[in-house]
Structure 1
Amino acid sequence: MQKEIHSQWSSHLEKDIEIAVYGRYGYAILLFPAFTDEELECEKFGLLESISPGIKKGKFKVFAIPGVNFESWLNDKKSPQDKSYRQFQYNNFIIEEMVPFIFGECGGPVPIITCGASLGAYHAANTYFRRPDIFYGMIAMSGTYNIDHLAHGYFDDNCYFNSPVHYLPNLTDSYWLSFLANKKHCYILSGSGENEFPENSTHISGILKSKGIPHELDIWGPEWDHNWETWKAMLPKYLDEKF
């Protein structure tokens, strides 16, 4: 499996970053870390190995990016306002820096699928729902989609526009709804075992259903916990069967 590490300066994050790229061709998978902010996290825990057959065949190319969770929502030393603003910067980093980078690496515009587990699922879903004009699909595993879970009572406009369970029910703009209504690769997955909260997934699924937004909800059984073994089973299954 071909792997490259790209180092560059991020003007939006105001720091040097590294992006891990796996593969040569195919759909672009924008992969968010689950627990840390490390772009190599998913590789270290075997998630990349679980999908390596598709990467080697040229079915998809993975772009594993760093997160800012410990510079924002998980940083108890920062004010709520600063946490919220860091998320704003991260959104801009994805749209204005990562998307052009992916297109450049792929030789032009390609379908981009956002993907992640746990906190990565939140970022994958939020990124997709905010900009369905750019992203082709989404795979969110074991996520929470309510920013209250991370903001601990603080709620400004930026929190609202980064909380899918808040902004999606109020989405009435036909322009944005048309993009979401015409997509067919929105997958929301969860186990039902230890530390899993499948109700988070059923909640957002209900919102999407009420809006007529196509998606697939898949709740796995109690033997599937909130861990890498679950996600290493889920992700290759969906990449193999749906793309």
Structure 2
Amino acid sequence: MQKEMVTQYSQALEREMHIMIYGWGGVPFLCFPTQDSLCHNYEDFGMTDQLADFIDSGRIQLFVVDTVDWESWSPKDGIPEWRAARQEQYHRYIIDEAMPLIRSRNPQTPGVTGFSMGANHAVITFLRRPDLFRGVIALSGVYDTDYFFDGWMNDVLYQNAPERFLLNMAADHPYIRLYNERKMILCVGQGAWEEDGVRSLRNLEHIFREKGIHAWCDFWGYDVNHDWPWWFRQMRYFLPQLLKE
């Protein structure tokens, strides 16, 4: 498998960030790793091997980014204003720095994906900038800022809280049309460690319906756990849907 690691200094985050690139062509995917993880996450846990036939045949190209979750979403004892600001800086890094690099390597319109905390990032990124993506595959996220911030909220965190900003989105907002022109796939199991994901996805599903947003919210069985073996199966199941024209 062709792979490359790119290091770039992020002005938004004031640190070096890394992107692992897997493959040589096809539909590019901005890939967010699991919570507190870095760009080797997909390779370390076997996702690149699971998708090797898609990658090696030139159907997809993966761009796996670093996270800074340990400074933003994870430290519940941290200063909430600083944590929210760090997430917003991370969003700026993704949009203003990582995305131009992806476009310079592959001009096709990318998808965005992630698992667990990576699903949160994928959904936030897609919902804030649907103009940049062909669609999203988000697996086992918890789309609820209260879960991470214990009910605290400010204007910065609000921009990164889809369960808040979608609820207040005007019915004639142009993004609703863009959402419905893309493919939105959000999935969660109902087994071990998935209860918060089920709750938060049910809430998002309700909001999507209220706003007329045609997202596919899929709830897999009670044997489906919050773990890589299930994400392998789900990615192989959903990926062809996002590759369809």
Q: TM-score range by the shorter chain?
A: over 0.9
Aligned residue number for residue 27 of structure 2: 27
Deviation at 1:199, TM superposition (A): 2.4
Per-residue CA deviations over 1:135-169 (Å, capped at 9, x if unaligned) read 21000101111111111232101111111111101
Deviation at 1:79, TM superposition (A): 0.9
In structure 2, stretches of 5+ residues that fail to align are: none
Map of 1:34-113 to 2, 5 A cutoff? Answer: 34-76=34-76, 78-106=78-106, 108=107, 110-113=108-111
Aligned residue number for residue 178 of structure 1: 177
SS at match of 2:91: helix
Map of 1:110-125 to 2, 5 A cutoff? Answer: 110-125=108-123
Task: Determine the C-alpha separation between the residues in 2 that align with 1:181 and 1:168.
Answer: 14
SS at match of 1:133: helix
Task: Determine the C-alpha separation between the residues in 2 that align with 1:29 and 1:194.
Answer: 28
Across the aligned residues of Structure 1 and Structure 2, the Cα RMSD in angstroms comes to 1.3
Q: TM-score, normalised by structure 1?
A: 0.95
Contact (CA 8 Å) 2:184, 2:215: kept in 1 or not?
Answer: yes
Aligned residue number for residue 129 of structure 1: 127
Task: Determine the C-alpha separation between the residues in 2 that align with 1:242 and 1:76.
Answer: 35
Per-residue CA deviations over 1:106-141 (Å, capped at 9, x if unaligned) read 1x3x21111011101100001000111112100010
Task: Determine the C-alpha separation between the residues in 2 that align with 1:196 and 1:91.
Answer: 26
Q: Which moved more, 1:192-201 or 1:80-89?
A: 192-201
Deviation at 1:75, TM superposition (A): 2.4
Give the residue type in structure 1 aligned to 2:191: G
Percent sequence identity is 32
Q: TM-score, normalised by structure 2?
A: 0.94
Give the residue type in structure 2 aligned to 1:34: T
Task: Determine the C-alpha separation between the residues in 2 that align with 1:80 and 1:210.
Answer: 30
In structure 1, stretches of 5+ residues that fail to align are: none
Deviation at 1:78, TM superposition (A): 3.1
Task: Determine the C-alpha separation between the residues in 2 that align with 1:194 and 1:77.
Answer: 26
Deviation at 1:49, TM superposition (A): 1.1
Deviation at 1:179, TM superposition (A): 1.3
Contact (CA 8 Å) 1:54, 1:240: kept in 2 or not?
Answer: no
Task: Determine the C-alpha separation between the residues in 1 that align with 2:207 and 2:24.
Answer: 37
Number of paired residues? 240
Task: Determine the C-alpha separation between the residues in 2 that align with 1:175 and 1:239.
Answer: 26
Give the residue type in structure 1 aligned to 2:137: I
